[in-house]
Structure 1
């Protein structure tokens, strides 16, 4: 499944995983949020509710462009730097191509929608 991430007048696309957590995330669309920079590694936000973790693995090792859900805190994280394995991290999908529109500022308002 493809989604759109709109940042100002830029539109990014991402390919979502076929898992229960990703499907639950997409069920919230359209979704407009403010991304905050976290640890100079990822952009994060907290959806209005916790997402399903049914069938999720124990953790995930993210790389640049990965869209993830950190179950212990309930936040969505988009990684712009590679990171090590993290328990409780669930892969939701990956941004297709250039993601500089997300990494250019400390905080960005973005809209997630179906492609």
Structure 2
């Protein structure tokens, strides 16, 4: 079977998120708020990580990256120069990159990745 690559965009990074849940088995409220827009998630992501003032490289990189898109309410696409995207990848590797509130980061995906990588190798079972 031939694997197909998914070209996201040059000079971009996909941050695959999952919603952080409360306690296991907790029922969702019928008055649940609508999901946040991608730009709101991006702004929260930047805001959370900009508080890490001791990590100058990360805060500088965050001022230089831009919101590119929001896919399926869990993949945040970020655009920027390669040097700034590398700082974000390094932050993820070193566990200094923090998720936006209400989410956790499952993985980061490079601009051209295998389709399985985009889902971080997790198969959803209905």
- In terms of fraction of residues, the more strand-rich structure is 1
Give the alignment's TM-score, normalised by structure 1: 0.30
- In terms of fraction of residues, the more helix-rich structure is 2
Work out which structure has the larger RCO, using CA pairs closer than 8 Å and 6 or more positions apart in sequence.
2
Larger Rg: 2
